[in-house]
Every structure is written in structure tokens, then in C-alpha cells.
Structure 1
Amino acid sequence: MTLSLPRSALSIAELDDLDHEGAVRFLRALEEGGHRMVWIPEVAGREAFTTAALALGSTHRMIVGNGVARALERVPKSAASAARDLAAGYPGRYVLGLGVSGAVRERGVGPLPFLRDYLDEVDATIARRGGSRAAVPRVLGAYSAGITRLAAERADGLITFLVTPEHTRWARETIGDDLFLSVVQWAVVGRDRAAARDVARERLAYYLTLPHQIAKLTRLGFTEADLAPPGSDRLVDALVACGTPDQVRQAVRRQYDAGATQVAISLVGRLDDAKLDAYRALAPPHTTRTTGDDDT
């Protein structure tokens, strides 16, 4: 199936640091500010599917995607059942995102065969519950050639993050012209380049400890010196847009030009009034648009 999703979205890591009431207020503020879709990463604490349910229940029209749920965190039956119920309960508003890291090798299997088998079991579970493959739209988080091709074969799209436009161009060439491709673009609004680097490095520190992220960034041409914590200026500048909302939009445009169907902005830094103002400034126009329209 071809995913028809908003051309612009957000990837919101802030939920990990908010309690229930704070998360509800934040989600509602984003929707009221004009944002139409959020991806929820599973990183530091919140469980993927209960958090997606919270986001769907807290908003009226917002589309919510797991971006991405960690396959290693739960058996396929659990992921499939949760995703099917969310898709059925909120028609047209939920997208399942799945990903797996190289940590799966500790189980004696590589990421590609693991995820292929995982998808087999997801499909089987949905079928047993009377659903069809098309009932639960899904994307894969991928950087390697194998899983990127698997997304073209077994999913409705691909989601990537912490990548340059060069990677986006490669991904588009790998999956073909028609498959949905969402790219998460980190950004810092309202600060000069030096201050933005400091903010970005606080969040980047975790990812510079992950072997699969290091491998991805090495393939993109970054050196050992670039990737040594806290990350070189060259690395941070390539991965994080900064400046005014218009300057952030210029970086987003480069991802579109490289082949992204959708760009999901992820604002880096602590949540405060200035950050909420930045979210409002980056909201798309309040018009009805199709996937191919430019609403950044």
C-alpha cells in the first residue's frame, strides 16, 4: 500500500521526561498549534504502544506513529496485537514503526533475518485476529542496505534519523521512487551555531555510544575523530539544523530535495516556553494538503 501521510511531522522525544498530565498538555499544544502528525521514539523510558495510545487518546485528529518501536523489547505477538488494536481504535491515525539494532546478534542471529522472521509472525498474528496486512500500516527504521530493501519488500515505508541528505538520496535510490520515506531532522531554533552545538551534543552523547549508529555515521564518511565524544563540529553541523525557523526550513528542504517524502522535525533541548514557541513557528499552514504538497 502507498502511505498517505502529512508531508511534515514531528519526532518528539520530550515525552520521556514528562508525567502523564504534562504529556497530555504537550500533545494537545502541538495539535492546537497546527501539527498533524508525531512520531514517538522508544528510547529512554516510555513503552512504545502505551505511549502511542496516550498520544492518540489525548488528541482529536493527530496521526501518531511509533518511530520506532524496538522489536527486541517485545515478542511479535505483543507488537502485532497492540498495533492492530490501535489501528482499529483510531482509523487512519496510527502507523506502526519497527526497528532492530545490532544488539540482536547476541541472540545468534543478524538484524535482517531477525526482522524478516519478526514480520512473518506479526503478519500471522494479525491474520489470526481477523485482520489484513493492510489494516496496520507500517514502516521500518533502517540504515543498512539489507533492511532498507526489506522495507521496500515488506513494509509501507522507511523512517530514518540522524542522517545527512546524502543518506536520504541513497535510501531513495535503494527503495525506489514510490515508497514512503520519512526522515527525522534534528534542529535547534533560536540559537547561534556555537550555542546550538552545545545543546545538540547533550542529546547526541547517547547515540555516540551505540555501535549501529557509529557504523551508520562511518558509512556516511565521518571519521573516528568526528565520532569521538562529544562529536566534532563537522558532525554536529551536518546532522543538526540551527538558527531561525526559516533556516531550519532550508535544511528540511535539502532532505526533500534528496528524496524524502516526509521530514519529521525533532527539536533538541529541554522543553520550555521558547521551545514551544519554536514548535508553533514551525507548524505547517492550516490547509488541507495531500502527501505531495509542500506544507513546510
Structure 2
Amino acid sequence: MTLSLPSAALSIAELDDLDHEGVVRFVRVLEESGHRMVWIPEVAGREAFTTAALVLAATRRLIVGNGVARALERVPKSAASAARDLAAGYPGRYVLGLGVSGAVRERGIGPLPFLRDYLDGIDATLARRGGTVPRVLGAYSAGITRLAAERADGLITFLVTPEHTRWARETIGPDLFLSVVQWAVVGRDRAAARDVARARLAYYLTLPHQIAKLTRLGFTEADLAPPGSDRLVDALVACGTPEQVREALRRQYDAGATQVAVSLVGPLDEAKLDAYRALAADHRTAMERTH
């Protein structure tokens, strides 16, 4: 199927730190502010599909994507059934995002053949139960990026430079949906913004598949040594005034992104909620377009 999704979205990692009622309040603020789509990463403990169900139930129009659900966390039958029921229960509002890390090698299989077999299992379950589910793959390697073009409706990337976005677009062709998650810190000077960004980046600098990806993007061992060099942080995180952040987003669009999903870094406080509201206004007036 051809994905037709908003060109502007959010990736909301804050849900890991919120209880049930906190999630409901937060996503309703996002919807009431005018945001149209959120991606939910599966990182620090929240289960992908139950969290997607919670956000869908708490909102009226918000499109929700798992961005991405970890394939290693569940068998294909479970993922397919959960995704199928969410897509059926909330027509036009749910997208399945799947990803796998190099940790799968501990099972004696590489990420590419594992994910190919996983998609076979997804397809078999959907064929048996009926229904369709729009899906994207989280990918950085050439093999899985090409797999997204062959077996999915799109691609979602994370912590990448515009150079990677340009390469991904060239790899998948001109038409496939491509969402790029862009970290941003708004309203702080560069030194303060770097401190905020490094606090979140620290976890990802411990992950071999993220280190491998960033090395392919040209970052050195010195750049990647915790807490990350200024060069690394400045390349991966849009910092500064709203206009400086908008310019960073434009670079991702210009490089070939169909959609840019902003992830605001830092604690969820009133200042950050105000930044989310301002970002929604930006989307409405300057950046909204559809695929």
C-alpha cells in the first residue's frame, strides 16, 4: 500500500517516564495543540502494542506508529495479531514499525535474514486472519534498507544526518515513504543544549549497532567515546532558536525525507510543553505537506 501520512510528526520518548494517567494527559495536549501523528519508540520498558493502544484510545484523531517495535521482543504471530487488531479498531490511525538490532546474532542469525523470516511470519498471520496493516522498517544497513523497499510501505530512521537521509532515499527510490526522527533542543544556548542532548545520547553510545551506524556516517572513535564529541552532538541534534531548529528540519526534507518526526530532548516540564505547542503551530503554518 502507499502510505499517505503527515509530513510532520513527533517521536515521543517521554512515555517511558509517565504513568497511565500521565500518558493520557500528555498525548491529549499534543492532539489539542494540533499535532497529527506520533511515533512511539520501544526503549526503556513500555510495551509497544499496549502503549499504542493506550494512545489511540486516549485521542480522537491522532495517528500512532510504533517507531519501532522490537521484533526480538515477541514472535511474529503476536506482533501481527496485535497490529492487525489496532489497525482494524482504529482505521487509518495506526502504523506498524518493526526493527531488529545486532543482538539477534546471539541466536546464530544475522539481522537481515531474521527480519526477512519475521516478515514471512507476519504475512502468514495476516493472511490467515484477514486484514492489512501499513508497516515500515527501522533500518540503517544497506540490506535492511533495501528490504524495506521490497517488503514494507516505508522506512523510519533515527539519529542520522542529512547525508544518511540522502543515501537512504537513493537506496529505496523516489516514491517510498521515508520518516526521519530528528532530535531537537529548543530555546537553550549551544553549550546548555549539548548538555541536555548528551544526557539522552549516553545510552545510545553503549549500543554496538548504533556505534556501527555512526561509524559508517564518518564519526571517529574519539567522537563516539562517551559523552560524545561536540561534532557528534551538533550533527545529530538540532539546537537553538526555533528558526535554527526549523532549518535543521528543512535539511532533512531537502535530503529526501517524506516526513520528519521531531523528538524534543530534555525533561517534560511546562517549558517543553510550550515548545511542543509552538512546534505544532510551525507545522500548520510552514511545514505541513502530505506524501
**TM-score scaled to structure 1, two decimals?**
0.96
Alignment of 1:34-113 (within 5 A): 34-113=34-113
Runs of 4+ aligned structure 1 residues displaced above 2 Å come to none
What is aligned with 2:5? 5
Q: What is the deviation of 1:25?
A: 0.2
Give the one of 204, 226, 229 matched to 1:229: 226
SS of residue matched to 1:4: coil
Alpha-carbon distance between aligned partners in 2 of 1:267 and 1:83, rounded to the nearest angstrom:
27
Alpha-carbon distance between aligned partners in 2 of 1:155 and 1:214, rounded to the nearest angstrom:
25
Task: Work out whether 1:147 is the aligned partner of 2:114.
Answer: no
SS of residue matched to 2:54: helix
Q: Deviations over 1:202-247 (max 9, x none)?
A: 0000000000000000000000000000000000000000112221
Structure 1 contact 34–286 (Cα < 8 Å) conserved: no
Structure 1 contact 69–99 (Cα < 8 Å) conserved: yes
Q: Deviations over 1:54-74 (max 9, x none)?
A: 010010000000000000000
Alpha-carbon distance between aligned partners in 2 of 1:113 and 1:48, rounded to the nearest angstrom:
23
Unpaired stretches in structure 2, ≥5 consecutive residues: none
SS of residue matched to 2:97: strand
Q: What is the deviation of 1:130?
A: 2.0
Alpha-carbon distance between aligned partners in 2 of 1:76 and 1:167, rounded to the nearest angstrom:
29
Q: Deviations over 1:173-201 (max 9, x none)?
A: 00000000000000001101000000000
Task: Work out whether 1:251 is the aligned partner of 2:234.
Answer: no
Structure 1 contact 188–196 (Cα < 8 Å) conserved: yes
Closer/same/farther in 2, CA of residues 290 and 200 from structure 1, 3 Å limit = closer
Alpha-carbon distance between aligned partners in 2 of 1:18 and 1:260, rounded to the nearest angstrom:
30
Alpha-carbon distance between aligned partners in 2 of 1:67 and 1:87, rounded to the nearest angstrom:
15
Give me the identity figure in percent. Answer: 89
Alpha-carbon distance between aligned partners in 2 of 1:29 and 1:124, rounded to the nearest angstrom:
38
Letter in 2 for 1:195: A
SS of residue matched to 1:269: coil
Q: CA RMSD in A?
A: 1.2
Alpha-carbon distance between aligned partners in 2 of 1:61 and 1:247, rounded to the nearest angstrom:
30
SS of residue matched to 1:103: helix
Alpha-carbon distance between aligned partners in 2 of 1:39 and 1:118, rounded to the nearest angstrom:
21
SS of residue matched to 2:284: coil
Alpha-carbon distance between aligned partners in 1 of 2:190 and 2:147, rounded to the nearest angstrom:
38
Alpha-carbon distance between aligned partners in 2 of 1:63 and 1:286, rounded to the nearest angstrom:
20
Letter in 2 for 1:171: A
Structure 1 contact 38–62 (Cα < 8 Å) conserved: yes
Letter in 2 for 1:218: T
What is aligned with 1:291? 290
Alpha-carbon distance between aligned partners in 2 of 1:282 and 1:5, rounded to the nearest angstrom:
18
SS of residue matched to 1:187: strand
What is aligned with 1:210? 207
Alpha-carbon distance between aligned partners in 1 of 2:128 and 2:243, rounded to the nearest angstrom:
49
Structure 1 contact 151–158 (Cα < 8 Å) conserved: yes
Alignment of 1:182-221 (within 5 A): 182-221=179-218
Letter in 1 for 2:230: D
Task: Work out whether 1:177 is the aligned partner of 2:177.
Answer: no
What is aligned with 1:120? 120
Task: Work out whether 1:137 is the aligned partner of 2:158.
Answer: no
Alpha-carbon distance between aligned partners in 1 of 2:94 and 2:279, rounded to the nearest angstrom:
22
Structure 1 contact 142–148 (Cα < 8 Å) conserved: yes
Alpha-carbon distance between aligned partners in 1 of 2:127 and 2:88, rounded to the nearest angstrom:
14
